[in-house]
């Protein structure tokens, strides 16, 4: 567990309202001079937009990154999860400007900017000396807000391209700035923030604040994907920043020695975390994914009291007849992408006292005491068995729809309640240890990502040997005695091996779409039940029709 930062709660109405102008009245009868009474008030205001960021980093933003890509799907399971075709539209790249995930992400991006600008306006007017706080502290607080604004805009650039650039709260109905202008604005904010943010010292715990290395890593991310954003490759610039972070120029970080050190209940103590969002039971919980992923009876597996909705799972590695998809396409099949012996590939088991192993729910579903967990739909009152396949196996047999498994189709409409392997990236304790529930913080940036950015930059710039060494430096912790059976080498490293490495290390961390786009694979490659559109405009989402209805100055993205 960790010390919980003080964050003012935002109203649901504020988080869910539209955003066509940024001059909302957050305080109607107070000014900064009268509102702030202590340093505690300053901290509460400073971290208020971080509350919105916590919401923003999950849910629909995660869904846009993962359900449109090759590693995850929400299949229709009998009478469940068709959702008016929503899940299929994203999987098949047929979304529209009226889809809710897209509208929520456009709105959420600009709301985050608005909240950070509002706080920045208040704190910039405040005399920190009245609270015995230095000018350096004030500059650092304002730099955090600049970096947070840059984060929201960086995600917006990734999803939509150019967005309206707001720099004050009194602007409204602005047109979209160009991709290049938004890129330059993000770059300017991050460069300025780096100068004034504090650097992490050895032993410091993460409590949600943005430090110098986090801003530097965001700038490296901006350059890393610059070719997709503005049509200009900037791998050398990203490489320089990544190398400096590894060399501790921006603070003291090191790779965790354990694969789950960055994901476990005490991950705020991990030396690898560069920026994370605090989480704690009954407070700012990192819990949104539970309902999407887990069967409603999986609470028996966890020995918990939380019911799931049984929606999402990994895309299958195997056809209904058990043969592999590896001869059909080179992307997806995430479970089989993990090597045998990888400690992460083991089934999830909670051992108590914050100790656990593995990160998948796969195979026969059982309680901690070994009793079979029963289904309630296709396998009502029968033992559940989660398979790395998609197909209506319950409809095979004499007198049924299919006479043999070989006849089974495998596609988005053909799921069952036991379809697909489930990811447990965030550990779940049992009720006996319920104080640990949601005790794992949400990693946003970690040093392993910096290593992988550096490795890919080195590969692209011609240094395959160094790239392989960097990948393997991270990989080795995932095997007993660091005995990696399949290390990256100059000979086996290509586009697909590198995409596999990103998939394995960052499975379920909300980045897959961006990686595929950087490798020009998002609209050109095939994966399970997905044929390439070859339509490059789909690398960006449309500007939502609701946004255009509220601001007629907004231009739609090409192709929509």
- Taking only the tens place, the pLDDT of each residue in 308-350 is 999 999 999 999 999 999 999 999 999 999 999 999 999 999 9
Which of the four pLDDT bands, split at 50, 70 and 90, describes residue 35?
Answer: confident
**pLDDT score of 18 more than 80:** no
Region 138-145: what's the mean pLDDT? 97
The model's confidence at residue 510, banded by pLDDT at 50, 70 and 90, is very high
Query: Is the Cβ–Cβ distance between 301 and 365 less than 8 Å?
Result: yes
Q: What is the pLDDT of residue 171?
A: 87
> Using the 8-state DSSP alphabet, how is residue 541 labeled?
P
Average pLDDT over residues 492-497: 98
- 3-state helix/strand/coil string of 183-238: HHHHHHHHHHHHHHCCCECCCCCCCCCCCHHHHHHHHHHHHHCHHHHHCCCCHHHH
pLDDT given for residue 9 in this prediction? 32
Residue linked to tokens 């807000």: 145
Categorize the per-residue pLDDT at 23 as very low, low, confident or very high, splitting at 50, 70 and 90: very low
pLDDT value at 396 more than 50: yes
Q: For 411-424, write each residue's pLDDT tens digit.
A: 999 999 999 999 99
Top-confidence residue, 537 or 170: 537
Q: What is the mean pLDDT of residues 399-409?
A: 96
Q: What is the token pair recorded at 179?
A: 């991709």
pLDDT for position 169? 86
- Averaged confidence pLDDT in the chain: 93
CA 492 to chain centre: 28
pLDDT at 341: 97
Backbone angles phi, psi at 277, to 5 degrees: -105, 120
How far from chain centre, in Å, is Cα 162?
Answer: 21
Distance CA 70, CA 526 (A): 9
Looking at residue 16, its pLDDT comes to: 36
Is 90 a residue whose pLDDT tops 80? yes
Is the per-residue pLDDT at 19 higher than 80? no
Who's near 5: CB < 8 A, 6+ residues apart? 43, 47, 50, 207, 208, 209, 278
Global confidence as pTM: 0.93
Of the pLDDT bands very low, low, confident and very high (cuts 50, 70, 90), residue 282 is confident
**For residue 276, which of 208, 342, 327 has the smallest C-alpha distance?**
208
Over range 502-530, report the average pLDDT: 98
The dihedral built from the CA positions of residue 517, 519, 523 and 526, taken in this order, carries a sign that is negative
Residue 20 has pLDDT above 90, yes or no: no
pLDDT of residue 243: 98
Predicted pLDDT at 531: 98
In tens, the pLDDT along 58-82 reads 999 999 999 999 999 999 999 999 9
Token look-up 């320089």 returns 240
pLDDT digits (tens, 9 = 90+) for 212-232: 999 999 999 999 999 999 999
Tens of pLDDT, residues 150-162: 999 999 999 999 9
Burial class (CB in 10 A: 0-12, 13-18, 19+), 484: middle
pLDDT at 205: 83
């Amino acid at each position: 567990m960790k010390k919980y930062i003080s964050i003012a709660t935002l109203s649901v109405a504020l988080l869910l309202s539209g955003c066509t102008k940024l001059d909302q009245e957050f305080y109607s009868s107070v000014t900064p001079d009268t509102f702030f009474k202590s340093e505690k008030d300053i901290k509460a205001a400073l971290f208020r937009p971080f509350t919105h960021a916590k919401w923003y980093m999950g849910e629909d933003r995660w869904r846009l990154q993962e359900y449109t890509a090759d590693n995850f799907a929400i299949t229709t399971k009998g009478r469940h999860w068709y959702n008016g075709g929503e899940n299929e539209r994203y999987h098949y790249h047929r979304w529209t400007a009226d889809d809710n995930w897209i509208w929520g992400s456009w709105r959420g991006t600009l709301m985050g900017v608005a909240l950070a600008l509002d706080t920045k306006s208040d704190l910039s007017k405040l005399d920190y000396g009245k609270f015995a706080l230095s000018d350096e502290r004030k500059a650092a607080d304002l730099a955090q807000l600049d970096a947070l604004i840059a984060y929201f805009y960086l995600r917006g650039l990734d999803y939509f391209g150019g967005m309206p650039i707001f720099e004050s709260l009194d602007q409204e109905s602005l047109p979209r700035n160009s991709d290049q202008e938004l890129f330059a604005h993000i770059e300017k904010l991050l460069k300025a923030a780096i100068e004034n943010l504090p650097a992490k010292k050895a032993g410091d715990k993460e409590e949600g604040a943005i430090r110098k290395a986090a801003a530097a890593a965001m700038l490296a991310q901006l350059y890393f994907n610059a070719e997709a954003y503005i049509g200009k490759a900037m791998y050398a610039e990203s490489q320089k920043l990544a190398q400096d972070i590894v060399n501790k120029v921006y603070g003291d970080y090191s790779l965790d020695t354990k694969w789950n050190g960055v994901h476990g209940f005490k991950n705020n103590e991990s030396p690898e975390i560069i920026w994370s969002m605090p989480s704690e039971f009954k407070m700012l919980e990192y819990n949104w994914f539970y309902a999407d992923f887990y069967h409603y009876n999986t609470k028996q597996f966890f020995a918990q009291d939380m019911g799931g909705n049984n929606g999402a799972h990994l895309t299958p590695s195997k056809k209904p007849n058990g043969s592999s998809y590896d001869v059909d396409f080179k992307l997806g099949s995430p479970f089989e992408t993990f090597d045998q012996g990888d400690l992460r590939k083991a089934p999830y088991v909670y051992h108590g006292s914050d100790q656990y192993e593995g990160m998948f729910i796969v195979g026969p579903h059982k309680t901690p005491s070994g009793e079979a967990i029963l289904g309630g739909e296709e396998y009502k009152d029968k033992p559940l068995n989660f398979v790395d396949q998609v197909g209506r196996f319950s409809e095979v047999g004499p007198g049924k729809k299919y006479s043999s498994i070989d006849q089974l189709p495998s596609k988005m409409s053909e799921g069952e309640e036991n379809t697909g392997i489930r990811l447990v990236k965030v550990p779940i304790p049992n009720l006996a240890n319920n104080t640990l529930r949601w005790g794992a913080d949400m990693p946003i940036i970690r040093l392993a990502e910096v290593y992988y950015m550096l490795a890919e930059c080195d590969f692209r710039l011609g240094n395959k040997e160094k790239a392989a060494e960097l990948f393997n430096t991270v990989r080795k912790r995932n095997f007993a005695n660091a005995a990696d059976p399949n290390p990256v080498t100059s000979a086996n490293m290509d586009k697909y091996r590198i995409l596999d490495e990103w998939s394995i290390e960052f499975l379920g961390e909300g980045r897959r779409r961006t990686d595929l786009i950087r490798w020009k694979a998002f609209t050109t490659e095939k994966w399970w039940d997905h044929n390439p559109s070859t339509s490059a405009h789909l690398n960006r989402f449309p500007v939502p029709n609701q946004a255009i209805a509220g601001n007629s100055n907004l231009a739609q993205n090409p192709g929509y």
